[in-house]
Structure 1
Amino acid sequence: MARSRGRHSIYNRLFLLFLSCMTILIVVVSFLYYKKTTDIIHTKISDMAEKNISQTVGLFDLLLEGYDSVTKSLNSNYELLRLIEAREKVQDPAVSVIDERSITNILGAVYYSRDDIIGIHVITNSGKMYNYEKRYVGVIDMNYTNADWYNKLRSSTGEMVWLGLFNNSVMNTVQDGPVFVFGRQLYDLTTYKKVGIVFIETNPKPILSALSNVTISPNSQVYIVDEQDRVVASTGNQEASAMPSFNGLPRPKNNKIVVDNRTDQLIVSAKAAMAGWTVFGLTPKKDINAELEGTRQYLLIVIGALILLSIAIASLVSRTIASPLKLLIREMKQVEMGNFKGAVNVKSFDEINSLVASFNRMVHRMDELIEGITLASISEKNAELQALQSQVNPHFLYNTLDMIYWMLDERENDRLGRVILALSHMFRYSSDWQEASRTTLRQELDQMRHYMTIIESRLEGRVSTAIQVDDQWLDAVMPKMTIQPIIENAVKSGLEPLGRPGKLRVYTEADETELRIVIADDGIGMDEEKLAYLRSCLLEGKQESQRTELQTAGHQGRKGIGLPNVHRRIALMYGERYGLRIDSKQGEGTTVIIVMPLP
């Protein structure tokens, strides 16, 4: 019990209340701050990725436009095309050697026009080959006619063919290192006949460095993918098995940039219009979230510090409020044991100081009243003796009330007269037990009407009564003072506390075996706990000493004829299956049903 009281003490409850409120506030604010910070960081990273890929695609387009210009310059070089066609015909060997050298010189001029060109290759329709590259001593792969890149160039119709990134030169079997290859068909611009093909191998560093600009974290991967989902180039050395599937990834349309963060990766994609390629940047979200780890740790430290501070504040505030109240409770226990001489002296909040001052005044006043009661005790005993000696007959009270009624009637004070007359009838009925405890429903309703006359006059229109009882049941026998206690409880506990006019209904119902007298009000009703307690009182047959009348809902202490008493008397008269049945809903009203056998 001591532990239970400790857990439910005002100090512990205030401490838990303050600590819970402050902790919830700290956690909610911290969560909102962290979420907002996370959203800002993700937004900035998405914007940065979008900006980077936009710049990368722009660099690709500029780079590819330059490569396109190089191949166009070769295709539009009239002298080159003339020399190639001349060598296709049978001619003097010396002239052929001079023409071949002239062709090589033209290719060399183009070769030295750019720093990133590794090799330029021209293959005529008859199979003659002209090359200009750094390592001219390389060995030509004579199986090139079966290569996929060669067939793509041969089947093209003059447009630029971007062959992509290769690990080694497609023609020079000696030259190692990655190359970027592109080319097109050569046409005689006069006759528009195919002359051969030209393809150029360049250093892939400009493309790879542009791809690295898209990476956000060390684990980011960037891919250039053509329209058939083939990887043209990518960052790092990746096996084919490690390549992701690009079939389901979002593809941008026109010049738009797509940012997709719905999966476990941040995906950005843009289209290089010059080549029809799509650039994909894939960054694991765990790398992005790793940047938030520092913010998360710092926030956890701040939350821990604030919670410790909240504990200290909650303890201080709870002790400030609880200590004066503990002193007050200690002094109240002294008063409970009969010591009225003590006083509480505290300095706390104004409300607590006011409460303590009121308690001190109350104890002092009680001490004075006890002394006064002691002095007046002898006079009261003498008055009681004189009253007992007079043996006033109750009929003297009835006659006096009747006399007051006739005096009021002569002065035409009808309202007060009706109240006095109703009071007289009530006293006469309630004190006349010559016919034991039996009466009829008719007499009970008359008693109820007298009571409601007084109540309606006192409450001035706040209570109205509707009685709908079938005449065939008016002579039904029932215990005396059955309806009036129920009506009184309904008025006091249900209708008087209302802030609006209330209504009381009395009507009868009957079936083959039972007569039910229903008393229903639309008052404040009872909650489930109080209703359950009242029903248990009826079932257990608790008597008046336990104060279980309907005032259990809020008017304890009045000792009248309570509902358990009424229920018990009906059960004694007719059997245990009869008595009172109660139903109530808080805010809607209470219904009490008197159940009796049919007359």
Structure 2
Amino acid sequence: MLRRWNRHSIRSRLFLLFLISTMTLLILVCVLYYQKTTQIIHSKISDLAEKNISQTAGLFDLLLEGYDSVTKSLSSNSELLRLVMEKDREEVDGEVGFISERAITNLLGATYYSRDDIIGIHIISTSGKVYSYERRFAGIVDRNYSSAEWYRKLVESNGRMVWLGLSEGSLINSILQQDTVFVFGRQLYDFNNYKPIGVVLIETDPKPILSALSNVTISPNSRVYIVDPDNRVIATTDPGIPAADNMEKEYPSFEGLPRPSGNEVIVDNRTDQLIVSANAAMANWTVFGLTPKADISAELAQTRLYLLIVIAAVIVLSTVLASLISRNIAKPLKLLIREMKQVEMGNFRGAVNVNSYEEINSLVSSFNRMVLRMDELIDRITLSSISEKNAELQALQSQVNPHFLYNTLDMIYWMLDERENDRLGRVILSLSQMFRYSSHWEEASKTTLRQELDQMRHYMTIIENRLEGRVTTGIDVEDRWHDAPMPKMTLQPIIENAVKSGLEPMDLDRPGILRVYAEADEEARELRIVVADNGIGMSEETLEHIRRLIKEPVFGRNAQSEPGTAPARRGIGLPNVHHRLVIMFGESYGLRIESVQGEGTTVVIVMPLPVFQEGGCIHEHINR
């Protein structure tokens, strides 16, 4: 397979690679897009169903609370209860009895007109007397009510609210059987001896209940059920399937369906239906919403169809583009390959002329230039090799000069020592040691505080002999800091500036004092090497200028020189020392300068506080 692939031309390879890459990317994008779209749709529908059923359960509880308050207003109406008991005992008769019955009816009417959705209010006393206030056909009572299930529940309720749910027609009016009503009631008690005196039955318009249930539907095939703890359907938006006796309707079984506890909402999508459920706490009922997943996936079918059309169109377009692009790329490359074979055979006089893509044209032009200049490049490489060897020889020769200087200074020292010229001998020896120290830059120019102090002592030997006692040096650095690492040539530039700019210009009758000491700040984790003099100091303007100068980059400072002037000499001054400290330790470290004109100058070298271990010391600070 690999050999067969290798025998294909570059045009065939480009065509297949372009087509396969495009198809792979297209299919991957479509699959990811479809999965993400499916996930988003299912998530949004689940969230919508959860919010809807939660709102519906809350609305249903509000409706039931309103109905509950209606029954409570009747059961707590002492006048109504008194009249019912009197009529029940037949304490009134004739015209007075008629007035009492009319008063009961009026009280029921007041409650009836307090709400728009009440269809009928019925009070059945323990003696069997019925008092009704209905929208129409009042007084036509089904005399078989005493054997009905609903009546038994009201009698056995012990005063609790009884929610009887939806009913196909009135439970007590034998004529009104064509309209669906929502029925509830409770038992009435005598407040004096807490004995039952009858029951109240209220029938209401079911539209508010059904309207609340319709909020849960999220598709045309969604079905909503209100189910009691015994899995009996109280209300539903499902027309149902008529049973064999045509008296009841068959509904899905609610056994095993998840029922929430408390105020939680349960969303179950493990089956072929999206099931959401919530509690109607007022009646201890559960609201179920069942939506077929096929309805949820209806929108996804259109997305799939759209993606298939896009894939087919892109396949056709990619095939055409792959053919055109592979042919345009392959033709100039074939010419280039043919000419490269000529170069491989030693022919450097050929040239390729093509007019293709910019990158291929650039490649061909580069090839032509490469062929034309190959001999020249070979000569340059040869000359470069010779120059490199000459540079190495010069570098070796340059090492001879410092060693010759050390040996010469040592010879002068011994000659002076033989003639007992100790003072001049010490100066020559110090100068020799300074040259030797400053010319050795191994280990990335790192040294220790001990070596820097030794270098300072050599320098001050020369200065003190030159100034003949005008400068006194004091060094107070604890031995434990002597092994602290620091950049090489840090102290000498600072000491040199202190001597030349601060101590030498002083009056001859005023002795110059140069102090070097170390102090540690444990809280800031800093080691500070202080170089202080009692010289002439400097003004605030000069001090600020120097502070700005040491903050500037060392490289490129000559670019700031005035036009027409020679660039400043690059020495190892305070800016150089500061930047080497920053490079070695970080931006938080370096030089800090304080000065008072006429009193002196203090330069502080701030380094990280070292941590000493057996065999040496290390710094806590890690320069990042």
Q: Which bracket does the TM-score occupy, shorter chain normalised?
A: 0.5 to 0.7
Please state how far the C-alpha of 1:236 moved relative to its aligned partner.
3.9
**Conserved 8 A contact 2:38-2:300:** yes
Cα 1:305–1:7 shift into 2, 3 Å: farther
| Counterpart position of 1:13 | 13
* 2:217 counterpart of 1:191: no
| Counterpart position of 2:67 | 67
Please state how far the C-alpha of 1:30 moved relative to its aligned partner.
2.2
| Counterpart position of 2:83 | 83
Once residues 278 and 160 of structure 1 are traced to their aligned partners in structure 2, the CA distance between those partners, rounded to angstroms, is 17
Amino acid at match of 1:280: F
Deviates more, 1:283-292 or 1:217-226: 283-292
Q: TM-score, normalised by structure 2?
A: 0.53
The residue correspondences of 1:34-45 to structure 2 (distance < 5 A) are 34-45=34-45
| Counterpart position of 1:123 | 124
| Counterpart position of 2:252 | 244
Please state how far the C-alpha of 1:266 moved relative to its aligned partner.
1.5
The residue correspondences of 1:57-456 to structure 2 (distance < 5 A) are 57-94=57-94, 95-137=96-138, 139-175=140-176, 176-239=178-241, 242-327=250-335, 345-346=353-354, 349=360, 353=364
The residue correspondences of 1:501-516 to structure 2 (distance < 5 A) are none
Once residues 41 and 191 of structure 2 are traced to their aligned partners in structure 1, the CA distance between those partners, rounded to angstroms, is 57
| Counterpart position of 1:400 | none
Cα 1:322–1:202 shift into 2, 3 Å: same
Q: What do the CA deviations read for 1:205-230 (whole angstroms, capped 9, x no partner)?
A: 01001111111111111111111111
Once residues 242 and 302 of structure 1 are traced to their aligned partners in structure 2, the CA distance between those partners, rounded to angstroms, is 46
Please state how far the C-alpha of 1:352 moved relative to its aligned partner.
6.1
Q: What do the CA deviations read for 1:223-265 (whole angstroms, capped 9, x no partner)?
A: 1111111100001421266522211211111111112222221
2:198 is paired with a residue of what secondary structure?
A: strand
| Counterpart position of 1:475 | none
Matched residues, percent identical? 64
**Conserved 8 A contact 1:324-1:352:** no
Once residues 80 and 332 of structure 1 are traced to their aligned partners in structure 2, the CA distance between those partners, rounded to angstroms, is 115
2:297 is paired with a residue of what secondary structure?
A: helix
Once residues 305 and 250 of structure 1 are traced to their aligned partners in structure 2, the CA distance between those partners, rounded to angstroms, is 47
Please state how far the C-alpha of 1:270 moved relative to its aligned partner.
1.0
**Conserved 8 A contact 1:183-1:198:** yes
Once residues 19 and 70 of structure 1 are traced to their aligned partners in structure 2, the CA distance between those partners, rounded to angstroms, is 75
2:31 is paired with a residue of what secondary structure?
A: helix
**Conserved 8 A contact 2:226-2:235:** yes
Once residues 291 and 17 of structure 1 are traced to their aligned partners in structure 2, the CA distance between those partners, rounded to angstroms, is 35
Amino acid at match of 2:187: Q
Amino acid at match of 1:39: Q
Please state how far the C-alpha of 1:147 moved relative to its aligned partner.
1.2
1:223 is paired with a residue of what secondary structure?
A: strand
Q: What do the CA deviations read for 1:245-304 (whole angstroms, capped 9, x no partner)?
A: 211211111111112222221111111111111111111111111123343333334444
Once residues 5 and 102 of structure 2 are traced to their aligned partners in structure 1, the CA distance between those partners, rounded to angstroms, is 110
1:192 is paired with a residue of what secondary structure?
A: coil
Q: What do the CA deviations read for 1:378-413 (whole angstroms, capped 9, x no partner)?
A: xxxxxxxxxxxxxxxxxxxxxxxxxxxxxxxxxxxx
Please state how far the C-alpha of 1:92 moved relative to its aligned partner.
4.5
Amino acid at match of 2:156: S
1:163 is paired with a residue of what secondary structure?
A: strand
Q: What do the CA deviations read for 1:80-132 (whole angstroms, capped 9, x no partner)?
A: 11111111224352132222221111111111111111111111112121111
Once residues 310 and 9 of structure 1 are traced to their aligned partners in structure 2, the CA distance between those partners, rounded to angstroms, is 19
Please state how far the C-alpha of 1:71 moved relative to its aligned partner.
0.5
Please state how far the C-alpha of 1:41 moved relative to its aligned partner.
2.1
Q: TM-score, normalised by structure 1?
A: 0.55
Q: What do the CA deviations read for 1:298-354 (whole angstroms, capped 9, x no partner)?
A: 333444444444334433332233223444677899999xx9999764455269638
1:119 is paired with a residue of what secondary structure?
A: strand
Computed over aligned residues only, the root mean square deviation of the Cα atoms, in angstroms, reads 3.4
Once residues 5 and 182 of structure 2 are traced to their aligned partners in structure 1, the CA distance between those partners, rounded to angstroms, is 84
Once residues 154 and 321 of structure 1 are traced to their aligned partners in structure 2, the CA distance between those partners, rounded to angstroms, is 95
1:292 is paired with a residue of what secondary structure?
A: helix
Amino acid at match of 1:194: P
Amino acid at match of 1:353: V
Once residues 83 and 324 of structure 2 are traced to their aligned partners in structure 1, the CA distance between those partners, rounded to angstroms, is 101
Cα 1:350–1:169 shift into 2, 3 Å: same
Q: Which consecutive unaligned segments of at least 5 residues does structure 2 have?
A: 243-248, 373-624
**Conserved 8 A contact 2:226-2:288:** yes
Please state how far the C-alpha of 1:14 moved relative to its aligned partner.
1.8
**Conserved 8 A contact 1:138-1:174:** no
Q: Which consecutive unaligned segments of at least 5 residues does structure 1 have?
A: 362-599
Once residues 111 and 143 of structure 1 are traced to their aligned partners in structure 2, the CA distance between those partners, rounded to angstroms, is 25
1:71 is paired with a residue of what secondary structure?
A: helix
1:322 is paired with a residue of what secondary structure?
A: helix
| Counterpart position of 1:47 | 47
| Counterpart position of 2:29 | 29
**Conserved 8 A contact 2:56-2:212:** yes
Deviates more, 1:290-299 or 1:107-116: 290-299
Cα 1:129–1:333 shift into 2, 3 Å: same
Q: What do the CA deviations read for 1:153-202 (whole angstroms, capped 9, x no partner)?
A: 11111110000000110111111200000001101122111111111011
Amino acid at match of 1:243: Y
